[in-house]
Amino acid sequence: MTTAIRTLTGPRWSSAVMCARQSVYQGLGTEGTKPTPEQERVFRRGRFIGEAIARDVVETFKADEVDVIPEQEVPWPAADPIGVGHADLYIPSEAHVIEVVSRRDCELPGYKVLQVAGYAVNLGATKATVLSIDPTTYAERAYPVNIASMAPRVREIEAKVHRGMRIGDMPERAGAHPGDFPCFWCAFKDTCWQGVELPEAGRLENDHHVALLQRLADIEDAIPQYANREKELKAERDQIRDELTPHIEPGRETFAQGIRVKVTPVAGRQSLNMTAAAAAGHALPDNLQPFVTEGKGYLRWTIKRVGGGGR
């Protein structure tokens, strides 16, 4: 394996899971802008870390006399290929595909789940895993992927890229504007957004609301600087936010007197109370154990004055 840039042509599955439209541009041979030196540095470091980890995994399996194929080619979709993907690792004897990613705290990126599921679906594999490595501690976590449940999403993405290449029915853009993720990284950003009229940003016109927004910006600047007033400042901040919320359209940038604000609705997160589940007699299935994160333990000190004046 090498960190040299591999020459790739055609639509890439690794791109399709991020943005099907980007994959179509690749498949059509559309000329894109070259990466900036900063982007090249990020890509190069990512490749280096990923390949180093993959080499280590290969050596580990070889020590156990298990044959592993690095960079396994995967034509997709298998029934009528329009592209060739490259799975990080494939274990033929186990029909097992492994995709490696470096993430702080061994996080699981959703696009990697789709990526490895797509390789598994088109190889006819029965097992798929995302191996996430923390590059700062070298801790690792292997996340098993349910291939059957991901297969419909895989086929949906494949169909979008297929239609885009065969009949010109371009998939929707992954981002809301050129500066949105993942558009700002895309080599085809200029082509993709050319001629698209973006909605005009909203503006606060009411003098009172403008003053509130200016005060809100001042508070955001002050919170990190005045630890002794943090509670007071956050209370005022929350009060101002409540007053401004009805006058700011969610998901849309709003301007006033050189200040830009955007309010993004975030759905509440679901959580599983392991302690309560165990108390109710429910054991977590083995296949879900890799997704359990344990917090760091600590020492709790409890000191009370009990009177008496003694030592």
Nearest partner of 14 among 185, 149, 167, judged by Cα: 185
Distances, alpha carbon 186 to alpha carbons 41, 81, 173, in Å: 15, 24, 11
Q: In the predicted model, what is the mean pLDDT of residues 48-73?
A: 85
Checking 33-40 for CB contacts under 8 A at 24+ apart, the result is 33/187, 33/188, 33/189, 33/190, 34/187, 35/187, 39/185
Res. 5: pLDDT tops 50 = no
Res. 121: pLDDT tops 90 = yes
Which residues in 157-181 are b (16+ Cβ under 10 Å) and which e? bbebbbebbeeeebbebbbeeeeee
The dihedral sign for the CA sequence 157, 112, 129, 52:
positive
| H/E element, 143 | strand 140-144
Residue 11 backbone phi and psi in degrees, to 5? -70, 135
Q: In the predicted model, what is the mean pLDDT of residues 259-288?
A: 86
The Cα 290–Cα 107 span in angstroms is 11
Residues belonging to the chain: 311
Res. 1: pLDDT tops 70 = no
| pLDDT > 90 in the chain, percent | 52
Res. 123: pLDDT tops 90 = yes
- In this prediction the pTM is 0.77
The dihedral sign for the CA sequence 92, 97, 101, 103:
negative
Structure tokens at 273: 């109370």
Q: What's the Rg (C-alpha) of the chain?
A: 25
Local confidence band at 193 (pLDDT 50, 70, 90 cut-offs): very high
Res. 6: pLDDT tops 70 = no
Mean of all residue pLDDT scores within the chain: 88
Residue at 10: amino acid letter: G
